[in-house]
A and B are shown apart, each in its own frame.
Chain A
Amino acid sequence: MELTVWTYEGPPHVGAMRVATAMHDVHYVLHAPQGDTYADLLFTMIERLKKRPPVTYTTFQARDLGGDTAVLFKDAAQDAYARFKPQAMLVGASCTAELIQDDPGGLAEAIGLDIPVVPLELPSYQKKENWGASETFYQMVRGLAGAHAPAPGTERPPRPADRPARVNLLGPTALGFRHRDDVVEIKRLLGEMGIEVAVTAPLDAHARDIARLGEADFNIVLYPEIGLTAAKWLERTFAQPYVQTVPIGVGATKDFVREVAALAGIDPEPVLAANESRLPWYSASVDSNYLTAKRVFIFGDGTHALAAARVARDEMGFDVVGLGTYSRERAKDVRAMAKELGLEALITDDYLAVEKAIEDSAPELILGTQMERHIAKRHGIGCAVISAPVHVQDFPARYSPQMGFEGANVLFDTFVHPLVMGLEEHLLGMFREDFEFNDDAMPSHLATAGEGEIRVQPQPSAPNGAAATNGSAVEPAADATGEAGTHWDDSALQELKKIPFFVRGKVRRNTEKFAADNGVATITVETLYDAKAHFGR
């Protein structure tokens, strides 16, 4: 048993729903109690889809358990087939039905439908949403494309010289973080390269499209969490190579273009020359000087966390002070990246552990999920959302991809927005004793950051650990007791208060560390400035 406050991922059958809902003519019959129908609202409310997810729930009740829940399942499957006329059906169980072991796959087979039926075994007590999406997509690809597989060992015939290269885009789903816009951006980029997209799946695919995945020359895995398992199977079965570089950020997009061009046998340079992101210039322009060495904490799914780390370090000039993911499947890659950054990766799905890590690393900017946005708000730290789990705000009306050259422009704006604008920060530093620049005067562009939520005032002592981490603890506004038994005298505390709130946490932490390292028991104004001199700004 695992004590959980918030969860980053839903159960695996929600991943299966993301695949089914992304497609046009696939129906999912889910053996599940009525409460599990809540999952529909993720799609209709958060993503604002106009149609209900194509899911039939058996909604068995306690009184059915003694009787025949299997019959209930068969009836539901038959009714769904008659009513929705799908071209393929997914069948499976949610956590509760897994325990009663009705075997949805066997039951569906016994009905003898004249469409492909893909049974899903998604172990709810071990696995989570992204794994469920990946497994569902893989099983569907095997089930529908498998029939067209050549004999094992068959060589792939070379592409006719007069036909452009053809690729599949694998991985985008319903409820994905900016999947909708990423697909548009990548298709545009591939179009410029003269490459045809045969099938994008699961997003907007029909069952018949899955059946012909093997026809393309190679695959592009946009979201490895979801598409990689299927891509590997397609490689084994159809000898289709795949591209795994995720084109988020300028550098990664350039790598992606080169990799795709190599597989397609074309020259990448014209496309690279014609497409310039504004990010490099914006980052180089003098206004961006204030971005130098900003301390940034990154947490998200594996794909987006890795991409953000590269962009933050190489393209924004930030200091990455924390990197982590809730995707255990990507732990290895994230660990490697963290090592490169001189960090220990945080691999966890425990929200409280993430909050603790954020407090300990005292970042000035968090690139995270909606969960970290709430942590950031409580601590008065800027935050940009870069990854699922998604919120209604992550489906903006405007075009807002993460991938490709336009995606890089979006990233620049996204990362910079929560930070105090360059000039504004200098002014705050200069006039910090002016009454208008006190703690309650937020940067003007953040003044309405609430989206209808309760506005949480920044908490001056937050980075100091326990305070404000949970609603129960008493929460001293300016606690004179610091780490390792150091103590602040009154004048030092007064001086600390004059420092703008968004750097105060760092100053406090540095000063206490300095005091502890130098055996200073009582921190005075002198200690504060000694520490400042020691650490620099």
Chain B
Amino acid sequence: MSDGSTPMAPAPGCTEDRPVLKERGQREVFCGLTGIVWLHRKIQDAFFLVVGSRTCAHLLQSAAGVMIFAEPRFATAIIGERDLAGMADANEELDRCVRQLLERRPDIKLLFLVGSCPSEVIKLDLSRAAERLNVEYSPKVRVLNYSGSGIETTFTQGEDACLTAMVPTLPDAAPGAAPSLLVVGTLADVVEDQITRIADKAGLGPIRFFPPRNSQDLPPVGPNTRFIMAQPFLTDTAKALTDRGAVQVNAPFPLGVEGTTLWLKAAAEALDLPGSHVDVATAANRDRANRALDRYRPELEGKRIFFFPDSQLEIPLARFLNREMGMELVEVGTPYLNRTIHGPDLALLPADAMLSEGQHVEKQLDRCVAARPDITVCGLGLANPLEAQGLTTKWSIELVFTPIQGFEQAGDLAELFARPLNRKTRLVA
């Protein structure tokens, strides 16, 4: 176990030769539309209009859970029989829906047209629709498009598609600008503020975040941009930023003390600053975070954990729980394994950790039930049925909706896993 201040050497047989069980079968994962649930909270003047079916609308509503917002900044243009039968021109219908929407919501500055399975299958060209609508509404509203369809994206890949669509709209960084850091992937505002404070202290600033809180405040990008990912599911975004000349910084993800430390150091090194700056600037944070982790370690140490594939956060989470909390990894499932992005975390996993990619949910459930792990990380559809079989579970979606990154959240992250175990010890009947 590491106290996080001294990075471990990437030892046990890194990425290339590590065996991975690849499975095909029923995948029990949300589609990329789900990302709208957190993206619309992050970019506060953006609206997400799904062009899809009643199923898509129902998915969003079910995933959003409690509906506390009068009118959320997302909606669905539900395709009807008339659109399919050619009785109505789908493009005109879409334009009408957008008009109706923008009349109701004059506060919207950025509109995403979000493709779905039905819109993809009927080949409704949303990029042309976006062009057309831009002519009409620019400069008041910018219209972009991406696909969150379930035939192309799982769960968190929707954010990847969304951010990829935004990359071309980022302004060019001034030529000859000093190297600067861009953090990529949605983080809770509170986490961003913490990172900003640390960056300032360690001399890494000024630091920018993508996606921004406001669509009018886009971070510039160019050859002097060093970008580091805060979320592990942004393959295409990384490529798009690289195409704009920005330089990708690879690091373990900022989960736990060790992950956050290595992540900040990689950022520092990318700016040609010594990692010791980070050590000095974060000593107090690390100390506090380690104390927070100490509290939960007795509850987690030696416990066996099983991950169903869901958010692509599984590998960094497994690394944190294994190395900092002493948990044993029974199986670490991920919907997709990107060896470049996950490489630094993979390198820190024990050589014998069982990894699986893709899913055959029935076989995986068989394996899980047979292994009887102490805790299982899975989607909402599987959690209660596993609990009913006497297993303890943690809903993976909470790991996406809750601030878990950075030093100050390390204890909260551990607590998310400790709580279900703690609860089991309390209930006698």
B81 interface neighbour in A33, A49, A83, A123, Cβ under 8 Å: A123
Q: Check if A125 sits within 8 Å of B53, measured CB to CB.
A: yes
Contact string against A for B residues 32-73, beta-carbon threshold 8 Å, 1 for contact and 0 otherwise: 111000000000000000010111111101110011111111
Interface range on chain A (Cβ under 8 Å from partner): 35 or more
Taking the complex as formed, is A453 at the interface, i.e. its CB lies under 8 A from any CB of chain B? yes
Instruction: Evaluate whether A11 and B80 lie within 8 angstroms (CB atoms) in the complex, with A35-B33, A50-B388 already known.
Output: no
Taking the complex as formed, is B149 at the interface, i.e. its CB lies under 8 A from any CB of chain A? yes
A96 interface neighbour in B80, B88, B107, B151, Cβ under 8 Å: B151
A125 interface neighbour in B51, B81, B101, B382, Cβ under 8 Å: B81
Q: Check if A11 sits within 8 Å of B62, measured CB to CB.
A: no
Instruction: Evaluate whether A50 and B53 lie within 8 angstroms (CB atoms) in the complex, with A1-B77, A14-B58 already known.
Output: no
Q: Which one of B23-31, B244-252, B266-274 is at the A interface?
A: B23-31
**B51 vs chain A, min Cβ distance (A):** 8
Chain B residue with minimal CB distance to A42?
B62
- Assembly CA distance A40 to B386 (angstroms): 13
Number of interface residues of B (CB under 8 A): 69
B57 interface neighbour in A4, A45, A452, Cβ under 8 Å: A4
Q: Check if B27 sits within 8 Å of A37, measured CB to CB.
A: yes
B65-120 at interface with A (beta carbon < 8 Å): 66-73, 75-81, 83-84, 88, 90, 93-94, 96-97, 100-101, 104-107, 117-118, 120
Contact string against B for A residues 20-37, beta-carbon threshold 8 Å, 1 for contact and 0 otherwise: 000000000000011111
**A231 vs chain B, min Cβ distance (A):** 27
Q: Which residues of B contact A56 (CB under 8 A)?
A: 26
A453-467 at interface with B (beta carbon < 8 Å): 453-454, 456
Q: Which residues of B contact A452 (CB under 8 A)?
A: 66
Taking the complex as formed, is A61 at the interface, i.e. its CB lies under 8 A from any CB of chain B? yes
Taking the complex as formed, is B172 at the interface, i.e. its CB lies under 8 A from any CB of chain A? no
Chain A residue with minimal CB distance to B388?
A50
B94 interface neighbour in A1, A6, A100, A472, Cβ under 8 Å: A1
- Assembly CA distance A83 to B362 (angstroms): 9
Q: Check if B53 sits within 8 Å of A44, measured CB to CB.
A: no
Instruction: Evaluate whether A471 and B69 lie within 8 angstroms (CB atoms) in the complex, with A7-B57, A10-B58, A95-B55 already known.
Output: yes
- Assembly CA distance A1 to B31 (angstroms): 22
- Assembly CA distance A9 to B71 (angstroms): 18
Taking the complex as formed, is A258 at the interface, i.e. its CB lies under 8 A from any CB of chain B? no
B55 interface neighbour in A1, A36, A65, A472, Cβ under 8 Å: A36
**A410 vs chain B, min Cβ distance (A):** 24
Q: Check if A38 sits within 8 Å of B59, measured CB to CB.
A: yes
Q: Check if B27 sits within 8 Å of A59, measured CB to CB.
A: yes
**B273 vs chain A, min Cβ distance (A):** 42
- Assembly CA distance A36 to B54 (angstroms): 11
- Assembly CA distance A320 to B350 (angstroms): 67
Q: Which residues of B contact A352 (CB under 8 A)?
A: 71
**A126 vs chain B, min Cβ distance (A):** 5
Chain A residue with minimal CB distance to B32?
A35
Q: Check if A4 sits within 8 Å of B76, measured CB to CB.
A: yes
Q: Check if B150 sits within 8 Å of A34, measured CB to CB.
A: yes
Q: Which residues of A contact B68 (CB under 8 A)?
A: 374, 453-454, 456
Taking the complex as formed, is A399 at the interface, i.e. its CB lies under 8 A from any CB of chain B? no
Q: Check if B384 sits within 8 Å of A48, measured CB to CB.
A: yes
- Assembly CA distance A471 to B158 (angstroms): 25
- Assembly CA distance A11 to B56 (angstroms): 9
B150 interface neighbour in A13, A36, A472, Cβ under 8 Å: A36
Contact string against A for B residues 106-145, beta-carbon threshold 8 Å, 1 for contact and 0 otherwise: 1100000000011011100000000000000000000000
- Assembly CA distance A452 to B32 (angstroms): 27
**B95 vs chain A, min Cβ distance (A):** 10
Q: Which residues of A contact B101 (CB under 8 A)?
A: 3
- Assembly CA distance A38 to B149 (angstroms): 13
B79 interface neighbour in A1, A7, A14, Cβ under 8 Å: A1
**A68 vs chain B, min Cβ distance (A):** 14
Q: Check if A124 sits within 8 Å of B66, measured CB to CB.
A: no
Taking the complex as formed, is B154 at the interface, i.e. its CB lies under 8 A from any CB of chain A? yes
Taking the complex as formed, is A532 at the interface, i.e. its CB lies under 8 A from any CB of chain B? no
B75 interface neighbour in A4, A35, A126, A469, Cβ under 8 Å: A4
- Assembly CA distance A14 to B59 (angstroms): 11
Chain A residue with minimal CB distance to B74?
A5
Q: Check if A33 sits within 8 Å of B149, measured CB to CB.
A: yes
Taking the complex as formed, is B380 at the interface, i.e. its CB lies under 8 A from any CB of chain A? yes
Taking the complex as formed, is A128 at the interface, i.e. its CB lies under 8 A from any CB of chain B? yes
Taking the complex as formed, is B259 at the interface, i.e. its CB lies under 8 A from any CB of chain A? no
Q: Check if B53 sits within 8 Å of A471, measured CB to CB.
A: no
**B374 vs chain A, min Cβ distance (A):** 20
Taking the complex as formed, is A51 at the interface, i.e. its CB lies under 8 A from any CB of chain B? yes
Instruction: Evaluate whether A44 and B384 lie within 8 angstroms (CB atoms) in the complex, with A94-B55, A453-B66 already known.
Output: yes
Q: Check if A99 sits within 8 Å of B385, measured CB to CB.
A: no
Q: Check if A50 sits within 8 Å of B384, measured CB to CB.
A: yes
Instruction: Evaluate whether A100 and B53 lie within 8 angstroms (CB atoms) in the complex, with A41-B381, A44-B381, A471-B71 already known.
Output: no
Chain A residue with minimal CB distance to B96?
A1
Q: Which residues of B contact A65 (CB under 8 A)?
A: 121, 151
**B242 vs chain A, min Cβ distance (A):** 24
**A125 vs chain B, min Cβ distance (A):** 5
- Assembly CA distance A128 to B80 (angstroms): 12
Taking the complex as formed, is A62 at the interface, i.e. its CB lies under 8 A from any CB of chain B? yes
Taking the complex as formed, is B152 at the interface, i.e. its CB lies under 8 A from any CB of chain A? yes
Q: Check if A37 sits within 8 Å of B105, measured CB to CB.
A: no
Q: Check if A125 sits within 8 Å of B84, measured CB to CB.
A: yes
Q: Check if A95 sits within 8 Å of B54, measured CB to CB.
A: yes
**A392 vs chain B, min Cβ distance (A):** 9
Taking the complex as formed, is B383 at the interface, i.e. its CB lies under 8 A from any CB of chain A? yes
B205-222 at interface with A (beta carbon < 8 Å): none
- Assembly CA distance A59 to B151 (angstroms): 8
Q: Which residues of A contact B120 (CB under 8 A)?
A: 62
Taking the complex as formed, is B379 at the interface, i.e. its CB lies under 8 A from any CB of chain A? yes
Chain A residue with minimal CB distance to B64?
A6
Q: Check if B380 sits within 8 Å of A44, measured CB to CB.
A: yes
Q: Check if B150 sits within 8 Å of A33, measured CB to CB.
A: yes
Taking the complex as formed, is A155 at the interface, i.e. its CB lies under 8 A from any CB of chain B? no
A62 interface neighbour in B28, B96, B107, B151, Cβ under 8 Å: B151
* Interface positions of A (Cβ within 8 A of B): 1-7, 9-11, 13-14, 33-42, 44-45, 48-52, 56-62, 65, 76, 79, 83, 94-96, 99-100, 123-126, 128, 352, 370-371, 374, 378, 452-454, 456, 468-472
Task: Sample 14 A-B pairs with CB under 8 A, ordered by A number.
Answer: A3-B97, A10-B54, A11-B54, A11-B55, A34-B31, A35-B33, A35-B56, A37-B27, A37-B28, A44-B380, A57-B26, A128-B54, A472-B104, A472-B106
Beyond A35-B29, A37-B381, A38-B62, 18 additional contacts (C-beta under 8 Å) are: A3-B75, A3-B78, A7-B61, A10-B54, A10-B55, A10-B58, A40-B382, A51-B388, A52-B381, A60-B151, A61-B152, A65-B151, A352-B71, A456-B68, A468-B70, A470-B70, A470-B104, A472-B71
* Interface positions of B (Cβ within 8 A of A): 25-34, 51, 53-59, 61-63, 66-73, 75-81, 83-84, 88, 90, 93-94, 96-97, 100-101, 104-107, 117-118, 120-122, 149-152, 154, 362, 379-385, 388
Top 9 nearest A-B pairs (CB, nearest first) are: A35-B31, A35-B150, A40-B381, A33-B150, A50-B388, A1-B93, A41-B380, A96-B117, A95-B53
